[in-house]
Amino acid sequence: MKSFYKLLPILFTIIVANSCSTSSAASEELHSGSLSDTYAYLTPEAIVYASSISNLISTFPKFRNDAVNREVSSLKNSLTNYLQSIRSFDQSDKHKSLDEFEKYYKKIQKLRKFLTRDDDEVLNRYMVKIKTNMNLLEASQSRSIETTSMSSN
C-alpha cells in the first residue's frame, strides 16, 4: 500500500498531463514538480473526479444560443473557482463557488427549452457528468475528512 502512495504523485501527473485542460498556472507547477505536493491531501479517487471536472470544463462545446453560452461560461468560471478552492483548501471560497455553480446550473436548465434537441442532449450529458463528478468529489472529501478526524482521536 505504501508503494501505491509513492506512485500517487506520478499517477496524478500523468492524469494532469493527459488532460486537455491544463491551465498555464497548473502547467508551470507541473513542470516545477510541485503539483503533486499541492494535491497531496486528496485521495486518489478525489484526484480523478477533480481531473474529470477539469476536462469537462475544457471540452464544453459552444451552442447556437448566446444566452446559454453566456451562462455556460459563468458556470465554467464557478467550476474553475471550485477546483481552485479545493486545491487551496479554502472552505469559504469552495462554498461560494458551489453556490455560484448552483445558480448558473439552474439558469441553464431554464434555458434548455430554447435549444435544438441535439444541443439539449449534448448539454444534458455535460451537466450530468459535471454534477455527478462534483457529488462524488464532495463525498470523497467528506469521507476523507471523517477518516482524518477519526484517526486523530
Determine the 3-state secondary structure of 20 from DSSP: coil
Q: Find, among 4, 79, 84, the residue nearest to 44 by Cα.
A: 4
Name the CA dihedral angle for 60, 61, 67, 72, rounded to a multiple of 10 degrees. Answer: 0
Q: What is the pLDDT of residue 147?
A: 55
Average pLDDT across the chain, whole number = 79
Give the Cα separation of 47 and 39 in Å (integer).
8
Give the Cα separation of 1 and 68 in Å (integer).
46
Q: What is the pLDDT of residue 17?
A: 41
Give the Cα separation of 43 and 64 in Å (integer).
39
> C-alpha angle 7/12/13, rounded to 5°?
100
* Domains contained in the chain, CATH given: 41-152 (1.20.1440)
pLDDT tens digits, one per residue of 91-145: 999 999 999 999 999 999 999 999 999 999 999 999 999 999 999 999 988 776 5
